Structure 1
Amino acid sequence: MIPAPIPSNEDDRLAALRELLILNTPPEQRFDRIVAFAAQEFDVPQALISLVDADRLWFKAKVGLDIEESTRSDSFCAHAILVDEPTVVLDARMDPRFADNPNVITGANIRFYAGAPLTLPSGQNVGTLCVFDQQPHEVDDVALAVLSVLRDLVVEELLRKKALA
């Protein structure tokens, strides 16, 4: 397994994440509806709004998972926040970054992942909107455009909530 490197702006990224005042808050219908729509559009059983904290991923909204968080060290989302465009893994068993990842070879058995970074206006990627499945998938440009639009809705909602806090 190739762990994701820590972004060079990690301190600023974590500060921006904490300023959102969203970590460890209860589920909210607006976020839940976005992940449900993403799962439906990609025809996958699992979707998340994942916020990448220092050592963990915390899930603001989720479909198809019973856990609230997971470790950052073996996450796909920690890789996805390193770039500004969606990260797509068509078959994780064939990708050297993930082929021996515990989430691929045991437990979750993830094969497909698509995640768009949640980029704040300051340029900080604080998390992802992602979809995944236990089966490989193909993804076209239309699906990636949908994922990007939904990601933008998540960021808008995060900023709206911050302004109201």
Structure 2
Amino acid sequence: MKPAIKFNQEAARLEALRQYSISDTSSEQAYDDFTLLTSFICQVPIALLSFVDAERQWFKSKIGLEVAQTARNISFCENVILSERTLVVKDTLCDERFCDNPLVTSAPGIRFYAGAPLITSAGYILGSLCVIDHQPRDLSDLQKIALEALARQVVTQLELRRVSLNLANALNKIEQIAGLVPICSYCKGIRDDQGYWSTVEKFIMQHSGVEFTHSICDNCVRQHFPDVA
């Protein structure tokens, strides 16, 4: 029986995965290189870069496998998230956790599995870099070390991706705000690119995520509420 994941921890992990904006993206050479090297170093026919979301494991990159995803409840990679360390299954038919798994009893016929966790700097496990064979086997100590090293480099690539995306979004917002913004001379409303007028607060919230609270400054209190002043 698999140990349960605490709801708060899983919610935070899924939010961390979302922030990397990696799910359902197209194949990229940078990630395909990792699975290629992993397959070569571990001498296996299948290598996968797997991300586990709420319902599935999705493969950003794959060698030797055609499917793009599988259900989470039968995934081997969920066990990597639960164990929080590299998982090696030498023979699935001899392991009660996996012997009746449909990924073992039918295609792709997994007999050997090894997966290293993709651990972020904040400690969240997004998925795994894993290898699969149709025959029972094991990894040498050096192969396991290499698998874990490559998993760490995948996370480094993900961090670079996230920083790059955040920087691009920030620059885009600066360009929008720095441009000529049509503002009403009377009510100070702002016109957007579609020609609709909205408040200054709404415009800034849309372009920066800043939220507002309202109060009244001392000058306006004296002008509009002299009795209170």
TM-score interval w.r.t. the shorter chain? over 0.9
**Aligned AA for 2:113?**
Y
SS of match in other structure, 1:24 = coil
Instruction: Please state how far the C-alpha of 1:127 moved relative to its aligned partner.
Output: 0.4
Structure 1 unaligned residues grouped into runs of 5+: none
Q: 2:51 & 2:88 partners in 1: Cα distance? A: 18
| Fraction of identical pairs, as percent | 40
Q: 2:123 & 2:108 partners in 1: Cα distance? A: 31
Counterpart mapping for 1:68-147 below 5 A: 68-147=68-147
Using the size of structure 2 for normalisation, the TM-score is: 0.69
Q: 2:18 & 2:5 partners in 1: Cα distance? A: 16
Q: 2:4 & 2:53 partners in 1: Cα distance? A: 11
CA distances 1:67-97 after superposition (whole Å, capped 9, x unpaired)? 1111101010010111232100000000110
Instruction: Please state how far the C-alpha of 1:41 moved relative to its aligned partner.
Output: 0.9
4+ residue segments displaced more than 6 Å: none
Query: Does the Cα contact within 8 Å between 1:50 and 1:60 map onto a contact in 2?
Result: yes
Q: Which has the higher contact order (CA 8 A, sep 6+)?
A: 1
**Aligned AA for 2:141?**
D
Note if 1:158 corresponds to 2:158. Answer: yes
Query: Does the Cα contact within 8 Å between 1:116 and 1:147 map onto a contact in 2?
Result: yes
Using the size of structure 1 for normalisation, the TM-score is: 0.95
CA distances 1:48-70 after superposition (whole Å, capped 9, x unpaired)? 11000100011111101111111
RMSD over aligned Cα, in angstroms? 1.0
**Aligned AA for 1:124?**
Y
Structure 2 unaligned residues grouped into runs of 5+: 166-229
Tell me which protein shows more strand as a share of its residues.
1
Note if 1:148 corresponds to 2:151. Answer: no
Query: Does the Cα contact within 8 Å between 1:47 and 1:64 map onto a contact in 2?
Result: yes
Query: Does the Cα contact within 8 Å between 1:83 and 1:117 map onto a contact in 2?
Result: no
Tell me which protein shows more helix as a share of its residues.
2
